[in-house]
Amino acid sequence: MKILVYGYGNPGRQDDGLGPVMIEKINEWIEQQGIQHVSTDCNYQLNIEDAERISDFDRVVFVDASIESIDNFSLSKVEPGKNLVEFTMHAVSPAYVLDLCNKIFNKTPEAYLVHIKGYEFELVEELTPNAKKNLELAFEFLTKPSGLLMQQAV
């Protein structure tokens, strides 16, 4: 099973950088463990072009910061969805990217969204201590033997 971990967010806005920092951690883990089936990608936001990128994978795990009222992190399954584009921010949702992938490439990878709780989003290039703890918990969840990066399709 080919798995893509796609982190997104702005590292220059404190905890909004949780997605990109997760990709750094995953890349270190891949190298240390000699993992062959997991790839990574990272950007400030998702774009419609990402539909092509995810079409090459069996499973995609999107990782983003969250301002929602959640404990440490949350995991949700992503289903293809329409009309999930915020034109004021030029951003698209994971569900929209998945929907485009299905329509254009006739492929729908199994997809999940990991939201990691963030606390501060000012113009600072450093995660807050609590966000770092949440990142570590999400990383451990993803990389454990029964985690999304190790298990086969469900």
Query: pLDDT of 110-122, one tens digit each?
Result: 999 999 999 999 9
C-alpha angle 148/121/131, rounded to 5°? 40
- Domain presence at residue 81: yes
Please report whether residue 150 resides in a domain: no
CATH number for position 51? 3.40.50.1450
Domain carrying residue 112: 3-143
Confidence check: pLDDT of 62 > 70: yes
Give a yes or no: residue 151 inside a domain: no
Q: How many domains does the chain have?
A: 1
**What pLDDT, in 10s, does the model give residues 70-100?**
999 999 999 998 655 554 455 789 999 999 9
The reported pLDDT for the residue numbered 86 is 53
Helices (H), 84-154: 94-105, 129-143
Q: Is the pLDDT of residue 154 over 50?
A: no
- Residue 97 domain-assigned (yes or no): yes
Q: What is the number of other CB atoms lying within 10 angstroms of the CB of residue 143?
A: 19
**Rounded Cα–Cα distance for residues 49 and 62 (Å):** 15
Q: Are 38 and 23 in contact (CB under 8 A)?
A: no
Confidence at residue 151, expressed as pLDDT on a 0 to 100 scale: 73
The answer as to whether 121 is a domain residue is: yes
Classify residue 116: in a domain, yes or no.
Answer: yes
Residue 148 belongs to some domain of the structure: no
